[in-house]
């Protein structure tokens, strides 16, 4: 199965029209990708795997696709790494993670068994498995699965038990895994091992308490800037104001970690990203100590891929994380600046109505607008625009909201087009950074205090950028073209 997938991948890559894909975002080679997996450092390079169905542009039996980079921006496509080809993972190699150990690259993933038994009943089990390799080729352990549902406490689901995040601390291996409790909903369980083959259940580090979704997927757990952070992707969320939206969402829980009792002491629960297309974030730590996050840039409930495309799915730009003032900040990795071209800068621009400054256009750019504090009704940036199409980012200083709207981006489906977030009150002052790579729209508010990630598939010829206001606005504008092709 793996060799079949690799051959299909090689042949399919030749069929993708040149210039169709974004240049500095990881995309599906061919077929479908979703959750990032195995985001890790191996032999000084950054490896990113992802859930992968090479044969169609929709979800199917999960493989692991594979890319690598030296700088998070320019990515090299590597052959498919895992295929569902054993009894314990025959219906899918689901999400997981990776570490470097003893010169080898160790992948930990969820194997899915889903079959009809002789008595007609269906057996569904999700277990945790290990594969070890050299950065290209990987062998599954003969002792797989290394963790089964039998390790879990009473009342925990054996069917929803997935997405291990493995790390090494001292001489020991640790893994947090997403799960579901019959009583409390989503939960994150912790396991420990001395050899990555023999594991012990350690405890439940955090749980939903029936507040945040039904199943907690894709956990990540790390210490940064004096705080412990848990990233999770809950399913079946209920909307809560503008903080959380319905369906599959993403949450960070900030606090202190009681390591002796394996409990996260919760201080803050908030959304990781407020856009329309963001799920399943995963992080790594660089050699210089930075915590870098990447996520799947798509929503399960809003399928946007144009029917002419032979690939579906892409990842966000990798982002540097920090904790400041009790909040999780995120901004594009600094390596992006190495790909800047053609700076265009305007200081103290006055806008009262509409303005389209010379040199401000394109579909692959990094644009920052800083608006001064003053009295006005609305400020907006309209981009990916021509006489027919556009998407727009609006700031309402009275309501303290930022809204992304892709209603007129060219989509022909009755799906979600608009989302708003609450931002801090600054008497009309705001800083908006918009990063675009053809179809990707990543917005960072007030130096990364909040982020909004969304997709558009507007024709690439629509590349105008306009600034609009209701009332007089004074702002500064800095824009760079970005290209890594």
Q: What are phi and psi of 3, to 5 degrees?
A: -65, -35
Region 270-285: what's the mean pLDDT? Answer: 98
What was the pLDDT predicted at 117?
86
Region 245-274: what's the mean pLDDT? Answer: 97
pLDDT at 396 over 80: yes
Domains and CATH numbers, the chain: 2-13+20-332 (2.115.10.20), 338-482 (2.60.120.560)
Q: Which of 82, 97, 93 is nearest to 36 (CA)?
A: 97
For the chain, the straight-line distance linking the first and the last C-alpha, in angstroms and rounded, comes to: 31
The per-residue pLDDT for range 403-434, each reduced to its tens digit, is 999 999 999 999 999 999 999 999 999 999 99
Contacts of 484 (CB under 8 A, 6+ apart): 23, 24, 73, 74, 339
* DSSP per-residue letters across 160-202: S-EEEEEEEETTEEEEEEEEEETTTEEEEEEEEESSSSSEEEE
Count of Cβ atoms closer than 10 Å to residue 74 Cβ: 14
pLDDT at 173 over 80: yes
- This prediction has a pTM of 0.97
pLDDT at 485 over 80: no
If one compares 256 and 123, the residue with the highest pLDDT of the two is: 256
What was the pLDDT predicted at 234?
97
Region 125-130: what's the mean pLDDT? Answer: 97
The per-residue pLDDT for range 30-65, each reduced to its tens digit, is 999 999 999 999 999 999 999 999 999 999 999 999
List the Cα angle 363/11/50 in 5-degree steps.
60
User: If phi over 0 gives left and psi between -120 and 50 gives alpha, with beta otherwise, what is residue 4?
Assistant: alpha
User: If phi over 0 gives left and psi between -120 and 50 gives alpha, with beta otherwise, what is residue 404?
Assistant: beta
What is the C-alpha R_g of the chain?
22
Which token pair is 353?
A: 């109505």
Residue 275 CA to residue 331 CA, distance in Å, equals: 15
* DSSP per-residue letters across 270-307: EES--SSS-EEEEEEE-TTS-EEEEEE-SBTTB----T
Q: Which of 47, 127, 134, 144 is nearest to 91 (CA)?
A: 127
pLDDT at 484 over 80: yes
What was the pLDDT predicted at 120?
87
Which token pair is 344?
A: 């265009």
Q: What are phi and psi of 271, to 5 degrees?
A: -70, 145
What was the pLDDT predicted at 105?
98
Region 300-319: what's the mean pLDDT? Answer: 96
What was the pLDDT predicted at 118?
83
Go through 414-444 and write b for each residue having 16 or more CB atoms within 10 A of its CB, e for each that does not. eebbebbbebeeeebebbbbbbbbbbbbbbb
Region 254-261: what's the mean pLDDT? Answer: 97
What was the pLDDT predicted at 397?
97
pLDDT at 199 over 80: yes
Which token pair is 415?
A: 């799906």
Quick one: three-class SS letters along 9-33?
A: HHHHHCCCCCCCCCCCCCECCCEEE
Residue 273 CA to residue 444 CA, distance in Å, equals: 10
Share of the chain above pLDDT 70, in %: 100
Region 216-242: what's the mean pLDDT? Answer: 97
């Amino acid at each position: 199965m793996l060799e079949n997938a690799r051959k299909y991948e090689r042949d399919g890559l030749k069929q993708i029209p040149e210039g169709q894909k974004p240049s500095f975002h990881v995309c599906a080679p061919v077929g479908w990708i979703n959750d990032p997996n195995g985001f890790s450092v191996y032999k000084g390079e950054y490896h990113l795997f992802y859930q992968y169905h090479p044969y169609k542009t929709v979800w199917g039996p999960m493989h692991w696709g594979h890319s690598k980079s030296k700088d998070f921006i320019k990515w090299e496509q590597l052959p498919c790494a895992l295929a569902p080809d054993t009894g314990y993972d025959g219906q899918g190699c689901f999400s997981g993670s990776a570490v470097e150990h003893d010169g080898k690259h160790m992948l930990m993933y969820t194997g899915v068994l889903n079959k009809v038994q002789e008595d007609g009943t269906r057996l569904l089990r999700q277990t945790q498995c290990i594969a070890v390799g050299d950065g290209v080729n990987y062998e599954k352990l003969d002792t797989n699965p290394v963790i089964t549902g039998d390790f879990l406490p009473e009342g925990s689901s054996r069917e929803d038990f997935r997405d291990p995040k493995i790390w090494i601390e001292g001489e020991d291996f640790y893994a947090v895994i997403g799960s579901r409790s019959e009583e409390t909903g989503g939960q994150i369980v912790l396991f420990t091992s001395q050899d990555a083959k023999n594991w012990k259940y350690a405890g439940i580090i955090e749980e939903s308490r029936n507040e945040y979704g039904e199943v907690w997927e894709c956990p990540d757990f790390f210490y940064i800037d004096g705080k412990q952070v848990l990233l999770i992707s809950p399913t079946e969320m209920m909307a809560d104001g503008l903080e959380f939206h319905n369906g599959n969402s993403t949450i960070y829980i900030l606090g202190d970690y009681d390591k002796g009792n394996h409990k996260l002491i919760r201080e803050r629960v908030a959304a990781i990203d407020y856009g329309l297309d963001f799920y399943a974030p995963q992080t790594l730590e660089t050699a210089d100590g930075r915590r870098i996050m990447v996520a799947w840039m798509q929503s399960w409930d809003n399928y946007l891929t144009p029917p002419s495309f032979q690939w579906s799915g892409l990842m966000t730009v990798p982002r540097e994380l920090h904790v400041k003032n009790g909040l999780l900040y995120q901004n594009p990795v600094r390596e992006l600046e190495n790909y800047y071209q053609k700076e265009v800068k305007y200081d103290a621009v006055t806008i009262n109505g509409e303005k389209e400054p010379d040199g401000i256009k394109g579909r692959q750019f990094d644009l920052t607008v800083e608006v001064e504090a003053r009295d006005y009704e609305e400020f907006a940036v309209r981009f990916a625009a021509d006489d027919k199409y556009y998407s727009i980012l609006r700031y309402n200083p009275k309501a303290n909201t930022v809204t992304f709207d892709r209603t007129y981006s060219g989509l022909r489906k009755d799906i979600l087009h608009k989302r708003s977030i609450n931002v801090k009150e600054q008497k009309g002052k705001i800083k908006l950074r918009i990063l675009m790579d053809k179809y990707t729209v990543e917005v960072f508010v007030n130096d990364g205090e909040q982020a909004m990630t969304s997709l558009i598939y507007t024709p690439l010829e629509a590349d105008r950028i306009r600034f609009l206001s209701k009332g007089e606005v004074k702002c500064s504008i800095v824009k760079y073209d970005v290209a890594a092709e």
